[in-house]
Amino acid sequence: MREFDKISIQEMSKEDMLMIIEALEYTGTKTEIEGFISLKNSILKELSSLAESSEEEFLDYLNRSCEPQNLV
- pLDDT at position 68, please? 58
**Percentages (nearest 5) of helix, strand, coil residues in the chain:** 70, 0, 30
Q: Cβ atoms within 10 A of the Cβ of 13, count?
A: 11
pLDDT at 57 over 90: yes
Q: Each residue of 10-52: pLDDT tens digit?
A: 778 888 999 999 999 999 999 999 999 999 999 999 999 988 9
Residue 67 pLDDT exceeds 70: no
Cβ neighbours of residue 70 closer than 8 Å, sequence gap 6 or more: none
For 70, phi then psi, to 5°, come to 50, 50
